[in-house]
Structure 1
Amino acid sequence: MSVESSAHTAAPRRVVIENCAIATVDARDTEYTSGHLVVAGNRIESLGSGPAPAGLEHVARRIDGTGHLVTPGLVNTHHHFYQWITRGLAQDRNLFDWLVTLYPLWAGIDDEMCYAAAQGSAAALLRSGCTTSTDHAYVFPKGGGDILGAEIRALAELGMRFQPTRGSMDLGESHGGLPPDTCVEDTDAALAATAEAIDRWHDPSFDSMLRVTAAPCSPFSVTRELLRGAAELARAKGVRLHTHGAETVEEEAFCREKFGMGPTDYLESVGWLGEDVWMAHCVHLNDSDITKFAATGTGVAHCPSSNARVAAGIARVPDLLAAGVPVGLGVDGAASNESGELGAELRNALLIARLRGGPAALTVRQSLRLGTMGGAKVLGREHEIGSLEPGKLADLAMWRLDGVSHAGLADPVAALVLGAAAPLTLLLVNGREVVEQGALSRVDEEEIARNVTRAVTRLHGG
C-alpha cells in the first residue's frame, strides 16, 4: 500500500482509496472490481468504478488499494466485554451450567477490571474489522464502581463507535432465578441506574459515537416488573431495547414452568416485541415465533460461535431472513467465544447455516450483509452505517487479499468470508484511522495485554 501526504490542512480532510475491489452492501449489492472511494471528514463523499475524480482538494492521504477489498466496517450486535477476563473456563458446559460456574466469579468484578476487559475485547473486535459494537453489561456488584463508564472510556480511547446496553438482573436464586443473589439488583435501583445511564451518555445524533440501550438480561434472571419497567423507560426516552431470548432448551423449559408459555410469547406479553427491540441468539424459535418477529420488526443478534461453544443449537437464520426479520451478527461474551473476533463470525454463520439447511442455505454475500447492513439495521443505524454510500458515515475496512493465503481466489467476497482471516490493512471509524497494517493505531497493544493480565490476577485473588 503506497501513501502520499499533502500539506493541506483545511477541512474537510479527504482520504482517497483507489484501485481496490469494493463491496458496497447497498440495497442493490453494488460491487466494483477496481474502483475508488473518497472520504471527506467523517462521511463517504463518493465512490465508483475506476480512479477517483481529478482535482480533489484537501487530500490528506491517498492510498493505492491494489490487491485489496474494501467493505463497510463490521457491526457487532451482542457482546459481554467483562467476560474477556474469564476466558477459558467452564469449557465443557451447557449454558445454564456455564453460567452457574461463572456467576460467582463475575460477582467480584469492578470498574478497573472492566476497563481492562473492554480494552481487550475492543482490540480483538477492531483487529477483525469491526467498527461498531454493542456491549451487554448486566453484572453490577455492590462497590464495583462505575463499570459502564469504564467501558465507555476504554472504547473512546480506541476509537470505536459504541452502543453499550445498561443491563440488569433482579431475579436471584432465592426468588427462583438462576443468578446468585450477590449478582442481582433491586428492581427500582436497576431502572433508576438505566435512566441515569441514558441521560448521562446517550447521543442520538446522526454521527453519534455513543448510544445507550436498556437491556434487562434474560427471562430467567429478571422479573416481569423489570421487563415492563425497562420497556416503558426506553420508549419514554427514545432508546432501544435488548435482551437474550430463546437461547437454549433449558430457557424454554424455564419459561414454560414459570410462565406457562415459551420465551417469545412471554416477552411479547410484557411489551418486548417491536422495531425498537433486538434479542440475542434466538436459537429455538418455532414458526409462530418467527412470524411474530417478522410482523413486529423485532431484530436478532446471531452468535454462531458462542451458540456452538455452549451447544445451544443452530439458529434458523435462513428462515428468519426469508421472513424479513432483521438479523445481525454477534461475538457474544469472550467466555463463550474466546477469540472475540467478529470477522470469524462471517465464515461461521455461513458454515453453520449450511449444516442445517444445505449448501445454498446462506451465500457469502448474505453472510457479509449479516455482518454489516444487517447489524446496522438491528441497532437502528441503517441510515448511518452498514453500507458504503455517499453521505453515510466513513466506517470501512480495507482487507488485503493478494497475500499467500488469498491470492488466486477469484471472488474477493468469497475470499473474505470463506478464506483464512484476511489481514486488515486499514480500518476507519468516523473517517479516522484506528487500525493500520493489522495493528491498533491509537493505543499500545502490549499495555492492553498487561492491563488484562493484571485484571485476571486481581479477579482470581492474586
Structure 2
Amino acid sequence: MYDLLVRDADLLVTMDGDDVPGGWIAVSGGTVAAIGGPGAEPAAAKTLSAKGSLVTPGLVNTHQHLFQNLTRGNAAAMNVDLFDWLKALYPMWAGLDEEAVEVSTYVGLAELALGGCTTSMDMLYVHTGPNFIDAQVRAAQEVGIRFHATRGSMCLSQKDGGLAPDSVVQTPDEILADSERLVDKYHDRTPGAMVQIGLAPCALALVTPELMRDTAELAERLDVRLHTHLSEVRAEDEYCARVFGKRPVEVFEDVGWGTDRAWVAHCVFPNADEIRRLGQWGTGVAHCPTPTLMRGAGPTPVPELRTAGVPVGIGCDSSTHSAHASMWLEAHTALVALKGRSGAGAISARDVLEMATTGSAACLGRADLGRIRVGAPADLVVWELNPVAFAGAHSDLVEAWLRCGPVQARHTIVQGAPVVESGELRLPRLDDMLARHRRISRRLQGLAG
C-alpha cells in the first residue's frame, strides 16, 4: 500500500513530455512511486481528490526576500524608484532580530505554499544580528517547504559611497566566515535535499569587487551556488559606468561570476552580446515580473534569453514592493508582460509553466525537481479550477490555468506531505506566528499597537 494517492485529475502535467487526462500519482517514502491514467488506481493510506483540478509539479521560486513582508505596503516606499525605496526601508530593516527573521520566514513560506510553491530560495542580506539564516532554516523545516537559503551580504555603506547605512552592513571577513559556517552546518548535497545553502552578495552597488571575487572562490571551493541582483534598473547601469567604466554584465564577468554556478535576479537590460555570453556561461536568470514592472523597468527579455540557452526561472522577489508572494500570480503576470513586450506569439502558458518548474529548478541546480516522474521527490500541486471562472475552458487546461482564475492551490504537497490541504494550511502554529508578525511589523514601521 502506498502512503498517498492523488487521484482523478482533470489533467496531470508531468513536464516530462506527456499529459495524463484523469491521471493519478502514488507516493511512497516522499517520492513518486507510480503514475497512471483513469482506472486501476492503487490503494493508499491517504487519498486526496484532484477532481475538477489541474495537477502540475510544485512551483519553484528563484528569487525572494522573505523578511521584507514585515514592511509590506509601507507608504514611504511606494511609487519611488529602487534606490529611494531602499533608502526609505533600510532604517526599518535595521531593527531586525532573530525572532523577526524566523517569523517573517515562516509567514512568507506559508503564503508561498498557498500559491503552489513547493521550493523557495531566499536572499537575506540584512544581518543586524547573528544566526539569522539559522532562524530561517528552523522556520522552513517547521513549515515543510523545500528551502534554498542564500547568505546575502552588504559591505559598502554610505560612507564608502554605497546606499546602505552603517547599521546594516558587515565586513567582508564576517560575511565570508559566516558563509562557510552555514554551508558546513546545513548544506545537503543528496538528491531530494530539503535544505541547501548558496552565497549571495546583494548587488554590485552594495559590495566591493573584492568580496564578489572572494565569494566566487569560496563557492567554488565549497561547491555551492552563487546568486546576486544584476542589471535590475537603469541606475545600476549608471553606477557601473561611473564607478567601473563598464556595464554591469562586464563587471559581473570581471569578478569571476560568468559561470553555470551562478544565477541572477531580474537581468532586465542586457544587450544582445550580453545575452549571448550569459547563454555561453549557463548563468541562470530569475524573472520577477511584478517588481520590475512596478519599478518602471519593464519585463526581462525572456524569449531572447531562452533562445540563447539561458536557464530562466520565475521569482516573487519582495513582498514590500509587489505586496504578494504568489508564484501563480507571478506566472500570470509573466505571461501578460512578455506578450505585451514581445508579441502575442512570443510566449505561451506552457512556456511559463516550464519556467516556473524545470527552468526554476535549473537555476537552483536541482535536476531532481520540477517534474512529476517515478523516483522524483513528490512535490506537486493540485490547482482548483473554479467551475464558474473556468466555464467554457475545455481545449487547453494549461492555457486556461494562467488565463482564467485567479487560481489557488487545493493541495500543495512537498516530499509527499500536504502543506496545504483542501485550500487550508496545515500549520498548527500559524495563528501565533501571525500575531507575532503583526507585533514585529508594527515595531519596525514605528507604529503603535
TM-score bracket for this pair, using the shorter chain length:
over 0.9
Aligned 8 A contact 2:118 2:145 in 1: yes
- Gaps spanning 5+ residues in structure 2: where? none
Instruction: Decide which moves more: 277-286 or 117-126.
Output: 117-126
Name the structure 2 match of 1:5: none
SS of residue paired to 1:212: strand
CA distance in 2, matches of 1:250, 1:237: 33
1:36 aligns with 2:24: yes
Aligned 8 A contact 2:5 2:24 in 1: no
Name the structure 2 match of 1:18: 8
Superimposed CA distance per residue, residues 49-94 of structure 1 (whole angstroms, 9 cap, x where no aligned partner): 32345xx46x112334221111000000000011010111211011
Q: By how many angstroms is 1:246 displaced?
A: 0.4
Instruction: Decide which moves more: 392-401 or 101-110.
Output: 101-110
Name the structure 2 match of 1:209: 194
Name the structure 2 match of 1:133: 120
**Correspondent of 2:342 among 352, 357, 361:** 357
Aligned 8 A contact 1:401 1:407 in 2: no
Q: By how many angstroms is 1:19 displaced?
A: 4.3
**Correspondent of 1:420 among 405, 408, 411:** 405
Amino acid corresponding to residue 126 of structure 1 in structure 2: A
CA distance in 1, matches of 2:424, 2:4: 22
Name the structure 1 match of 2:295: 310
CA distance in 2, matches of 1:443, 1:391: 30
CA distance in 1, matches of 2:208, 2:174: 13
Matches within 5 A, 1:52-71: 52-53=40-41, 56=42, 59-71=44-56
Name the structure 2 match of 1:395: 379
Amino acid corresponding to residue 51 of structure 2 in structure 1: T
CA distance in 2, matches of 1:329, 1:16: 26
Aligned 8 A contact 1:32 1:49 in 2: yes
CA distance 1:241–1:130, shift in 2 (3 Å): same
Name the structure 1 match of 2:328: 343
Amino acid corresponding to residue 10 of structure 2 in structure 1: C
Superimposed CA distance per residue, residues 259-303 of structure 1 (whole angstroms, 9 cap, x where no aligned partner): 111111101001011111000000011111101110010000000
Q: Percent identity?
A: 38
Amino acid corresponding to residue 377 of structure 1 in structure 2: A
Aligned 8 A contact 2:71 2:445 in 1: no
CA distance in 2, matches of 1:35, 1:128: 22
CA distance in 2, matches of 1:52, 1:63: 16
Amino acid corresponding to residue 124 of structure 1 in structure 2: E
Q: By how many angstroms is 1:389 displaced?
A: 1.2
Aligned 8 A contact 1:81 1:333 in 2: yes
Q: By how many angstroms is 1:402 displaced?
A: 4.4
**Correspondent of 1:169 among 125, 129, 154:** 154
1:409 aligns with 2:396: no
Name the structure 2 match of 1:4: none
Superimposed CA distance per residue, residues 365-405 of structure 1 (whole angstroms, 9 cap, x where no aligned partner): 001111111110110002x1101111111000001214322
1:81 aligns with 2:61: no
Q: By how many angstroms is 1:16 displaced?
A: 4.2
Q: Would you say how many aligned residue pairs link Structure 1 and Structure 2?
A: 444
Superimposed CA distance per residue, residues 335-376 of structure 1 (whole angstroms, 9 cap, x where no aligned partner): 111111111011100100011111111101001111111110
SS of residue paired to 1:112: helix
Q: By how many angstroms is 1:433 displaced?
A: 0.9
Q: By how many angstroms is 1:447 displaced?
A: 2.5
SS of residue paired to 1:261: coil
Aligned 8 A contact 1:19 1:50 in 2: no
1:50 aligns with 2:38: yes
Q: By how many angstroms is 1:193 displaced?
A: 0.9
SS of residue paired to 2:370: coil
Q: By how many angstroms is 1:408 displaced?
A: 2.5
CA distance in 2, matches of 1:362, 1:215: 30
CA distance in 2, matches of 1:246, 1:399: 34
Amino acid corresponding to residue 361 of structure 2 in structure 1: A
CA distance in 2, matches of 1:453, 1:412: 39
1:275 aligns with 2:260: yes
CA distance 1:362–1:189, shift in 2 (3 Å): same
CA distance in 1, matches of 2:73, 2:49: 41
Matches within 5 A, 1:175-186: 175-186=160-171
SS of residue paired to 2:63: coil
Name the structure 1 match of 2:369: 385
Q: CA RMSD in A?
A: 1.4
Aligned 8 A contact 1:13 1:40 in 2: yes
SS of residue paired to 1:335: helix
CA distance in 2, matches of 1:52, 1:454: 52
CA distance in 1, matches of 2:93, 2:49: 47
Q: By how many angstroms is 1:419 displaced?
A: 1.4
Name the structure 1 match of 2:435: 450
TM-score with structure 2 length normalisation?
Answer: 0.96
CA distance in 1, matches of 2:277, 2:145: 33
SS of residue paired to 1:336: helix
- Gaps spanning 5+ residues in structure 1: where? 1-7
Aligned 8 A contact 1:18 1:63 in 2: no
Instruction: Decide which moves more: 243-252 or 61-70.
Output: 61-70
Amino acid corresponding to residue 379 of structure 2 in structure 1: D
CA distance 1:441–1:257, shift in 2 (3 Å): same
Q: By how many angstroms is 1:18 displaced?
A: 2.9
Q: By how many angstroms is 1:13 displaced?
A: 2.3
TM-score with structure 1 length normalisation?
Answer: 0.93
CA distance 1:326–1:52, shift in 2 (3 Å): farther
Q: Which runs of 4+ in 1 moved over 3 A?
A: none
Matches within 5 A, 1:192-207: 192-207=177-192
Name the structure 2 match of 1:220: 205
